[in-house]
Structure 1
Amino acid sequence: IVPTRTIQGEGFRIENLVVAGRGGLPITANLYLPDPPGEAMPGILICNSHHNPKTQGELQDMGMTWARSGAMVLVMENLGHGERRQQPFGGREDYHWRYNLGIQLHLVGESLVGWMVADLRRGLDVLLARPEIDVARIILIGAVAGGGDPAAIATALDGRVSCSIPFNFGCGTIGQPTTPGAEAAYNFASFADWESTRCLRLSGRDGFFPWVIVAAGAPRRLIFAKEFAFDPAKDPAY
């Protein structure tokens, strides 16, 4: 874990970090800390969405706000995003190039979501290595949209997460029937997609539907979050 810079704010500070990930591949991240620091602080790990990396406005807002409130917040960048960009065009092309990365990793028997999950678990290592962290209060948030998928899988695999918020993951597709009795026609397996992180291999055949992956975090705490029109009473997955 190598700190490259510290930025001082009002009631918080930011440590820019480079962390050795899987195979030694660098992971870039921002660690938001209360200033002055507290004791037994809760930790919040945020997985960026497919929209933008750690520079996204609401990710910075969450980091600063919760650090001022006494939490330690780690905002990481997924493989292929931000400073870990694998393409020369910038902007939203990070999102589109997930397709290319997914194909490249598939050719060698790996998966993009598997690498993202490994990075998130490394992020948990970073938080839990801090002596001032409260190991019993660790939240993993998957930002909307596209961050919830790896966040849910990481929670299912790693018992160090005490609460997960896998935004936009666990439910079916937008526009599906949600009227009473529609459960028989509901697509619990979600949909095929060019983005491999949203179309998990063999999950339909083997019964690992998105809602099953989310539920695998039980009995730990869960906040089920979804954008657009969400009526829990009419959502069979919920």
Structure 2
Amino acid sequence: MSYPRRSALLVLLLTTIFPGEPAKAGPPERGFTGPWNLESLKEAPQATWGAESDLIREVYYEGESFQGKPTRVFAYYGKPKGEGPFPAMVLVHGGGGKAFREWAKLWAERGYAALAMDLAGHGPDGPRLDDGGPDQDDHGKFQDFADSDVGQMWTYHAVAAVIRGHSLLAARPEVDAKRIGITGISWGGYLTCIVAGLDDRLKVAVPVYGCGFLNDNSFWLGQFKAMSPTLRDRWLSLFDPSKYLGGVRCPILFVNGTNDFAYPLDSYQKSYHLVPGPVDLCVTVRMPHGHSQGWTPQEIGLFVGSVLEGGKRLARLGAPVIADGLASAAIESQTPLVQAELAYTTDEGEWPKREWKTVEATLSEGKASAMLPEKRPLVFFLTVKDDRGAVASSPHVELK
């Protein structure tokens, strides 16, 4: 359903209460920039271009020095048909991933230039490069390191490769350098959270699964437990996305599932609450975790298109308000809404193992609402679906 125009006061209210927006005047100064030389990374890297077919071209570009030697990063560059200038996307794979040709092609077919790089020192089809950077294994991510060894760590190299990838795209004559975004999956979502807080040229970001606060709750708790306190503090101070999300200045959509094994909803919510501007959420029940599942949700393309091409954006839900057992969330939507649901769990324990249920919620003018189950503890959130089938969700609420 669509909504008639309301008073200016109500419009102002609905556009200022959505998740992640602070109650303070003016944006804070951009924060911590970590160990990276951003000025250098924003320069176009040296690149060697290779074979081209079916909208896709191979490219190698310079990376950071590793073990005292220069490195190269392999990537697939997708270029749409036509002359441009095209909007563009940086595509960041996750653990066990690589430079995915099909991902770059998907965005090229949508009309975007796209760069899908490899972040594990590999070339096309997976073999290691003689001059590749660190491998994307647990050793590369979590090894013991001193302050002087930061440049040997996987996260250091991966973030640099992603920002240089953006610079490579921005230098292309067929790319509109003022319309470039980023999306990443799993560890790529983790990197997207960091890069979105560092690279102020980005116009839109979509981290899928990945978040910060990995030491509080994540799949890698064992890794942090095995670290010395000094190493753990050093790692978290440099490489946890929680240190960088406060620097995000572009529109950002967080996509995840209720039962994600790696990035649970408690750490997820702490992460998106750090973003100083409005945050959009698409959390769905039992979303599978994987690369193909992470790049196919239509919400990603619609959200990016709303920012880079002026399309209609996803609905946005405010934080739920509870009164007499009824939970309600304010909605701002540019498209007709066709469905609302309440997702909830009364389970305790590990987030990935909790059983979630959904019930129909009520759509009324400017809000979605549903009666809450009486059982406690309770965790719930509200979702809406528009006439395109796109889902948006509210932040989750925990009741003891």
- TM-score (structure 1 length as normaliser): 0.70
1:73: Cα distance to partner? 0.6
- Contact 1:189 1:203 survives alignment (8 Å): no
Three-state SS of the structure 1 residue aligned to 2:200 is coil
CA–CA distance in structure 2, aligned partners of residues 106 and 235 of structure 1: 40
1:199-219 Cα deviation digits (max 9, x unpaired):
985476x6996456334212x
1:223 and 2:253 aligned = yes
Q: 1:223 Cα shift?
A: 0.9
Contact 2:80/2:111 (CA < 8 Å) preserved in 1?
Answer: yes
Give the direction of change, closer, same or farther, for the CA distance of 1:5–1:217 in structure 2 (3 Å limit).
same
- 3-state DSSP of counterpart to 1:3: strand
Map 1:191-206; keep pairs closer than 5 Å.
192=221, 194=223, 201-202=233-234
> Which structure is higher in helix share?
1
Q: Give how far 1:15 is off.
A: 0.7
Distance change >3 Å, CA 200–CA 191, structure 1 → 2: same
Q: Distance in 2 between matches of 1:202 and 1:101?
A: 13
Map of 2:77 onto structure 1: 31
| Equivalent in the alignment of 2:128 | 85
Match of 1:177 in 2: none
Q: Structure 2 vs 1, CA of residues 208 and 215 (structure 1 numbering), >3 Å: closer, same or farther?
A: farther
Q: Any stretches of 5+ residues in structure 1 without a counterpart? A: 88-93, 174-186
Is contact 1:189–1:210 with CA below 8 Å preserved after alignment?
no
Contact 1:141 1:164 in 2 (8 A): yes
Q: Secondary structure at the match of 1:151?
A: helix
Bigger strand fraction: 2
Give the number of the structure with larger relative contact order, counting CA–CA contacts within 8 Å between residues 6 or more apart. 1
- Could you give the per-residue CA deviations for residues 1-22 of structure 1, whole angstroms, max 9, x where no partner exists? 1112111x2xxx1110111112
Match of 1:170 among 211, 236, 241: 211
Report what 1:176 is aligned to: none
| C-alpha distance 86-38 of structure 1, shift in aligned 2 (>3 A) | closer
Contact 2:90/2:115, CA 8 A, preserved across alignment: yes
Matched, 1:47 2:87: no
Larger displacement relative to structure 2 (97-106 or 71-80): 97-106
Matched residue of 2:91: which SS? strand
Q: Distance in 2 between the 1:213 and 1:135 partners? A: 23
Instruction: Note if 1:103 corresponds to 2:143.
Output: yes
Q: Which has the larger radius of gyration?
A: 2
Asked if the contact 2:142–2:223 (Cα under 8 Å) also holds between the matched residues in 1, the reply is: no
C-alpha spacing 1:203/1:106, structure 2 compared with 1 (3 Å): closer
Q: Distance in 2 between matches of 1:120 and 1:142?
A: 10
1:68 to 2:109 alignment: yes
Does structure 1 retain, via aligned residues, the 8 Å contact 2:86–2:175? yes
After TM superposition, the score normalised by the length of structure 2 is 0.44
Question: Aligned letter for 1:99?
Answer: H
Partner Cα distance (1:104, 1:172) in 2? 19
SS in 1 for 2:155: helix
Judging changes above 3 Å, is the alpha-carbon distance between structure 1 residues 62 and 189 closer, same or farther for their aligned structure 2 residues? closer
What is the DSSP-based 3-state SS (H/G/I as helix, E as strand, rest coil) of the residue aligned with 1:34? coil
- 1:172 is displaced (CA, Å) by 6.0
Matched residues, number: 202
Alpha-carbon distance between aligned partners in 2 of 1:188 and 1:70, rounded to the nearest angstrom: 38
Query: Could you tell me how far apart the structure 2 residues matched to 1:203 and 1:107 are?
Result: 10
- What is the rounded CA distance, in whole Å, between the counterparts of 1:188 and 1:194 in structure 2? 12
Tell me which amino acid in the other structure corresponds to 2:396: K
How far apart, in 1, do the equivalents of 2:238 and 2:138 lie? 25
Check whether the contact 2:103–2:116 (CA below 8 A) recurs between aligned residues.
no
Identity of aligned residues (%): 19
SS at match of 1:136: strand
Distance 2:232 2:116 in 1: 24
Cα shift readout 1:81-136 (whole Å, capped 9, x = no counterpart)? 5557389xxxxxx65x3424653766852132111111111101110110121122
Query: CA, structure 1 residues 203+234, in 2 after alignment: closer, same or farther (shift >3 Å)?
Result: farther
- Residue deviations 1:29-76, cap 9 Å, x none? 0001112x2322111001111122124xxxx44322221221101000
Q: Is the 8 A contact 2:198 2:244 kept in 1?
A: no
Deviation, 1:154, is 1.5
Q: Secondary structure at the match of 2:60?
A: strand
Structure 1 pair 188–70 and aligned structure 2 pair: CA distance change class (3 A): same
What corresponds to 1:180 in structure 2?
none
What is the RMSD of the two structures over their aligned residues, measured on CA atoms? 3.5
- Relative to structure 1, is the Cα distance of residues 171 and 209 closer, same or farther in structure 2, using a 3 angstrom cutoff? closer
